[in-house]
């Protein structure tokens, strides 16, 4: 599904140049659950923006379902974000005075889907995300943090995207509720074969995924799962690299 080759990203501000990514390469197969983990300043957020078609690399290529995302126009990138990627964010980004059902239906309203079909798709997404049916018509500000995040997951699912990209999705939740939300991602991956990329700085969160890509200083240092984890780079950079 995903092929990233030698991605670099530089930010220039006057005479100052920051190289956030230094030649990142990996592939992710359809149906994988992968965590991209790293400390603050590691480059994981920059990589997330590129994978989410929110930014383009300075050099290198990014293919999503055989589309070369790194070369698309702004309109084409918007189309990829709308139709092929479902986003789940730490801050939820729901309308507080809209019901759970309406929050999930919103992307379908923008897509001008008929109301009966919108309702059907939204209910199916909420069921997949594990929200109890008696909460569908509650306002999002009447729901618990875990319930709100499951509504956000349902909204990410409703357009049937090729990829779900979750950026620190448990950051505003307590540990118990976070585990429930992470269990939802695991179930979506195992039972529904959803491809999921989880961005996190916490090892215990990343361990819920089947594979961890560890990034630091713009380089991938490790990639794999359990005893199969491979050392990609020892983290040492030569001058000018």
Summarize pLDDT for 190-231 with one digit per residue, the tens: 988 999 999 999 999 999 999 999 999 999 999 987 555 566
Q: pLDDT tens, 210-220?
A: 999 999 999 99
pLDDT, position 229: 56
Residue 173 near residue 143, CB atoms below 8 Å:
no
Q: pLDDT tens, 62-103?
A: 999 888 998 888 999 988 998 899 999 888 889 989 999 999
pLDDT, position 28: 97
Question: H helices then E strands: how many in the chain?
Answer: 7, 11
pLDDT, position 43: 95
Kindly state the tokens that stand for 179: 């585990």
Q: pLDDT tens, 8-50?
A: 999 998 888 999 999 999 999 999 999 999 999 999 999 999 9
Fill in the DSSP letter of residue 112.
T
- Give the pTM: 0.87
Please provide the size of the chain in residues.
Answer: 241
Can you tell me which residue has the tokens 């659950």?
33
Residue 92 near residue 148, CB atoms below 8 Å:
yes
pLDDT, position 71: 86
Outline where the chain has alpha helix (H): 44-51, 74-83, 100-110, 115-129, 145-157, 175-192, 203-206
Kindly state the tokens that stand for 69: 């995302």
The sheet carrying 33-37 orders its strands as 85-89, 163-167, 196-200, 33-37, 211-216, 219-224, 230-231
Asked if the model's pLDDT at residue 239 lies above 90, the reply is no
Kindly state the tokens that stand for 63: 């293919």
User: Distance (Å, rounded) from C-alpha 184 to C-alpha 146?
Assistant: 10
pLDDT, position 237: 45
Q: pLDDT tens, 117-164?
A: 999 999 999 999 999 999 999 999 999 999 999 999 999 999 999 899
Asked if the model's pLDDT at residue 235 lies above 70, the reply is no
User: Distance (Å, rounded) from C-alpha 8 to C-alpha 45?
Assistant: 13
Asked if the model's pLDDT at residue 172 lies above 80, the reply is yes
pLDDT, position 90: 86
Which positions ≥6 away from 48 have C-beta within 8 Å?
36, 54, 165, 167, 197, 199
């Amino acid at each position: 599904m995903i092929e990233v080759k030698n991605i670099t990203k530089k930010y220039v501000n006057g005479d100052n140049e920051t190289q956030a990514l230094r030649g990142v390469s990996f592939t992710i197969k359809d149906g994988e659950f992968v965590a991209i983990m790293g400390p603050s300043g590691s480059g994981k957020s920059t990589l997330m923006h590129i994978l989410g078609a929110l930014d383009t690399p300075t050099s290198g290529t990014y293919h999503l379902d055989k589309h070369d995302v790194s070369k698309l126009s702004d309109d084409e990138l918007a189309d990829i974000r709308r139709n092929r990627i479902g986003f789940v964010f730490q801050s939820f980004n729901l309308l507080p005075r809209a019901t759970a059902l309406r929050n999930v239906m919103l992307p379908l309203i923008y897509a001008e889907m008929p109301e009966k079909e919108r309702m059907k798709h939204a209910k199916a997404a909420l069921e997949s995300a594990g929200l109890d049916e008696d909460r569908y018509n509650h306002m999002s500000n009447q729901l618990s943090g875990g319930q709100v995040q499951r509504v956000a997951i349902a909204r990410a699912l409703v357009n049937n995207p090729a990829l779900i990209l979750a950026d620190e999705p448990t950051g505003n939740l307590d540990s118990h509720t976070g585990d429930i939300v992470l269990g939802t991602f695991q179930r979506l991956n195992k039972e529904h074969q959803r491809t999921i990329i989880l961005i996190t700085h916490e090892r215990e969160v990343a361990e819920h995924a089947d594979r961890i890509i560890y990034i630091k200083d713009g380089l991938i240092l490790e990639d794999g799962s359990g005893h199969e984890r491979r050392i990609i780079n020892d983290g040492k950079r030569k001058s000018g690299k």
